[in-house]
Chains A and B, each alone.
Chain A
Amino acid sequence: MATLHTRTAARFMVGPSVILLFIWMIVPLVMTIYYSLLNYKLDGTDITWAGLSNYYYFFTDPAFFYALKNSLLLVAGSLVITLVGGILLALLLDQPFWGQGIVRLLVIAPFFVMPTVSALVWKNMMMNPVNGLFAWLAKLVGLDAIDWFAHWPLLSITLIVAWQWLPFATLILLTALQSLSEEQKEAAEMDGAPVLSMFFYIILPHLTRAITVVILIETIFLLSVFAEIQVTTQGGEASSNIPYLVFSLARLDNDIGGASAGGIVAVIIANIVAFFLVRMIGKNLEA
């Protein structure tokens, strides 16, 4: 139905967005690849061709393996907590009770707290071994207070990140849960299906798609966790992830070449996840 005239107009309307995004995506990426092939330090020494040596150093640097391990543990830990917690919370919010709307607001609130605030509030006011609430609770029941960030830095960060992303998982799973037809649930109940088998045979299969979406989207966002590490531990072997390692190579060591090689590795890891996500979204778009 679109005429030639509207086609041309459409091109002009889409143009600016496409050009901007193209520049935004391609220019930095090409530059990062180029820098990653150079010996380039911001300390004034000469810039020379490095070939693949930055990648070689990056992959043989023990810091890379710690960072990769920490990245994966952080993503996996947060995913497990947010998925299990999200499913339970979604089931809970789907029950009839008074004040549903308000409880829902309370549950989704952490998502809107800026990362620096949630990290600092948790680190100081919850997890501090002397003044934190957890220390006080531990003392109440006669246990020693845990020095969370000294002994379990990565776990502590994972808990904070999971608290921030729990609402996201809950909301998506709740949306999916509410699209399950009442008739189907009632039919299962009338047939006398016990609660557990109802969960595993009806509810969980219905949620599969939503769960996959949560996993893919959270993975993309969680792979780039940065602020929570920056304001709590400031990196280090025990809690630095790949973005943080790239940041410290660039900003603290002034090693532009090395940081760029790390950035490219991060892009490749994210692209593996993005590939599956884009395919899923694309399928939905046709329907």
Chain B
Amino acid sequence: MAREISVQKKAGWTVFAWCVGLLIFFPILWTFLTSFKTEGEAVASPPSFLFFQWTTENYFEVQERSDYLKSVWNSIAISFGSTILALIVAVPAAWAMAFAPGKRTKDLLMWMLSTKMMPAVGAFVPIYVILNYFHLLDSLVVLVIMLMLINLPIIVWMLYTYFKEIPGDILEACRMDGATLGKEIIYVLTPMAIPGIASTLLLNIILAWNEAFWTLNLTAASAAPLTAFIAQYSSPEGLFYAKLSAASTLAIAPILVLGWFSQKQLVRGLTFGAVK
């Protein structure tokens, strides 16, 4: 039941909205373009927007300067590993809270959420001291476990809201038809739960990929993910715009694509259901 609107008006909004959109997106676009320039052209004034000698050498030099691929691997291991581990713990919990809620389920959920609100610096000092004492700084396994714990509350919460939407009547119908609990889970619940689990997985991979407090503070050379790899470029002698751009483009491109798919889950996951 769209309201009638003149073509001119729509064209005007189109031009304006595209300008605003491109303006906000511009730093990302600029990083992408700069990654194909030579270092000289990257700092040239006036800057060239499209008409420069396109080159892909930066992408190779980034790897030569320091082990970029290792950081890519670390990022993948941390984001996927922590999310999958958290899902293994969270799916049963969310399941139980959604389908067999007790008197304290709601309090339990709120308490879980509140752990997410504790600032990282509140826990930072002892964790640093302990890891330092046991020589566990710069360990990939430690980071995977830490990020799993950090995102666990959001994961339980998101799964809970998705499971809640599965109608209880269906379960009762299966029980009446004589399905066993195992059959009920495999044939009825799981297919309905998969979209919710997939959305949760997606959003939390993004959050873990971009996490930049623990990853910067608890890694050095061997476990450094992309967040820490890029941070190397902050030192003054490391100012290579084109290479910084190439490293950045590779670091954000995959997650940008995933992010675009997860728009809807973003609101749901990060507002904890407070906005519908």
Contacts and interface: CB of A to CB of B under 8 A. Distances in A.
Interface in B229-275: 230-231, 233-234, 239, 241, 244-245, 248, 251-252, 255-256, 258-260, 263, 266-267, 270-275
Interface in B1-42: 1-3, 5, 10-11, 13-14, 16-18, 20-22, 24-25, 27-28, 30-31, 34, 42
B124 A163 contact: no
B118 interface: yes
A18 interface: yes
Interface string A212-255: 01000100100110110011100000000011001100110000
A189 B276 CA distance: 25
Given A98-B10, A99-B18, A246-B121, A117 B108 contact: no
A97 B17 contact: yes
Contact of B16 (A92, A269, A270): A92
B103 to A, nearest CB: 11
A114 interface: yes
Given A13-B95, A126-B27, A133-B47, A111 B273 contact: no
Contacts of A131: 42-43, 45, 241
A7 B102 CA distance: 8
A118 B272 contact: no
A168 B275 CA distance: 12
B69 interface: no
Interface string B115-154: 1011111111111110010000000000000000100110
A31 B14 contact: no
Q: How large is the interface on A (under 10, 10 to 19, 20 to 34, 35 or more residues)?
A: 35 or more
B167 interface: no
Contact of A124 (B24, B28, B241): B241
Contact of A17 (B112, B271, B274): B112
Main secondary structure of the interface of B (DSSP, over half): helix
Contact of B108 (A18, A25, A246): A18
Given A9-B100, A262-B121, A92 B17 contact: yes
Interface in A18-55: 18, 20-21, 24-25, 27-29, 31-32, 35, 42
Q: How large is the interface on B (under 10, 10 to 19, 20 to 34, 35 or more residues)?
A: 35 or more
Contacts, number: 321
Given A107-B25, A226-B213, A270-B117, A32 B152 contact: no
A25 B267 CA distance: 25
Q: Which 10 A-B pairs have the closest CB atoms?
A: A112-B259, A28-B123, A31-B126, A227-B212, A13-B92, A10-B96, A274-B117, A106-B21, A103-B21, A13-B96
Interface of A: 1-2, 6-7, 9-18, 20-21, 24-25, 27-29, 31-32, 35, 42, 89, 92-93, 95-100, 102-118, 120-122, 124-126, 130-131, 133, 135-136, 139, 163, 166, 168, 171-172, 175-176, 179, 182, 186, 209-210, 213, 217, 220, 223-224, 226-227, 230-232, 242-243, 246-247, 250-251, 256, 259-260, 262-264, 266-267, 269-271, 273-274, 277-278, 280-282, 284-286
19 contacts: A7-B102, A18-B93, A18-B108, A21-B115, A28-B122, A97-B10, A103-B20, A112-B206, A114-B212, A114-B252, A126-B30, A131-B43, A139-B45, A166-B24, A243-B213, A263-B122, A266-B122, A278-B117, A281-B274
